[in-house]
Amino acid sequence: MEKKIDDLTTLTYGDLETGLKVVYTKSNSPTPETKPDTNANPGAETTKPDSGSSTTENQSDSATGGKTSKKGEAVYALKKIYLYKNKDFKKSERIASYAQKPRINRPMFVVTDYAKSQAGATRYKVRDVNHHSKTAGMIGYITANWKYVRPVYYHSLHQTITVINPNGVNEYQNKNLTGKVKNFKQGTQLKVKGFVTHNLTTRYQLNNGNYVTANRKLVISGKLEQPTKIKAKKTIYRYSNANFGKRISKVKKGTVLKVKKMDLLKTIFIDQLWYKTVSSGRWLCDWESSIRQDHQVVQQNKSHSQRLFGY
């Protein structure tokens, strides 16, 4: 027997569970003309995107992709964003700016609350948790736009993951990451059989039953090949760190070096892959034409950059 519901606000979960048949009846009454509100306050402020911020940052809820992060959850920025004092973004109320960075170095925040701008855009109220940064501990508002901000932790299962953190990731006996077993080096590919949550974070369960983090800054889904050797195609230099520090020594053309770990920095003009060599423990910069990977072509270096910059 069909149940007739005149008021949709009275719907129950049971009604939705059993299914509904919606019947549309055309009304013969004329549609009333919509007139502008002549009583509106002429001095009221109209909501417009901040001239100093991205128009995309000020889009409505559809820009979140329906995937708003929970309170207490960690998020990171994919593109350049600003931290604002209030929910309605104004250039004069910027507290801090965060440049676009490689995946492993993206600025991270913890969501403490939500807010809506006057234009209806969703904002995250956040706390800056970028340790060793001058902005650490700052509180303010950032965009919730899916193109700009996403969860730090994976929310789904993947059969294989690759360690991308230059310092590797640890394997643990328990999902709360206690009972350390060992450290997996950067580039290690791990087979996964399960996916679990712990508070507002997630873990991957390995085939042996142990756990590793599902932090996107530390691991990436799928297989990411890492070079084991590099060869200098012309004379290059070793540096003391991956930030164009002091030159340590010169590497002659044709020299083959074993790769210990890989890091990635980004400047305005070029993505730079850095290789830390086993022989010296120093960093070498790949200017795309300066280093050739063993059994690989230089152009493939770009695929590493794109994946480490990817989602």
Q: Provide the Cα torsion 241, 246, 248, 254; round to 10°.
A: 70
* CA end-to-end distance (rounded Å), the chain: 50
The Cα 46–Cα 88 span in angstroms is: 12
What would the pLDDT profile of 215-270 be if each residue is shown by its tens digit?
A: 999 999 998 877 777 788 888 877 776 666 678 788 888 888 777 777 655 443 33
Q: Tens-digit pLDDT profile for the chain (311 aa)?
A: 445 545 433 434 344 334 444 444 444 544 444 333 333 332 322 334 443 444 455 554 456 666 789 999 999 999 999 999 999 999 999 999 999 988 888 999 999 999 999 999 999 999 999 998 999 999 999 999 999 999 999 999 999 999 999 899 999 999 999 999 999 998 899 999 999 999 999 999 999 999 999 999 999 999 887 777 778 888 887 777 666 667 878 888 888 877 777 765 544 333 455 555 555 555 555 544 444 444 333 334 445 545 554 54
CA contacts within 13 A on the Cβ side of 51: 1
Total H helices, total E strands in the chain: 2, 21
The Cα 106–Cα 214 span in angstroms is: 15
Three-state secondary-structure class, residue 4: coil
Burial class (CB in 10 A: 0-12, 13-18, 19+), 301: buried
Q: Across-strand partners of 82?
A: 97
Three-state secondary-structure class, residue 93: helix
Neighbouring CB atoms inside 10 A of 161's CB total 26
Indicate the DSSP class of residue 88.
Answer: S
What radius of gyration do the chain's Cα atoms show?
26
**Per-residue burial over 222-241, b = 16 or more CB atoms within 10 Å of its CB, e = otherwise:** eebebbebbebeeebebbee
Which H/E stretch holds residue 160?
Answer: strand 160-163
The Cα 90–Cα 139 span in angstroms is: 16
Sheet with 122-128: list strands edge to edge.
Answer: 94-98, 81-84, 139-143, 122-128, 108-116, 74-77, 149-151
**């050739």: which residue's tokens?**
292
- Backbone φ and ψ for 93, nearest 5 degrees, come out as -110, 20
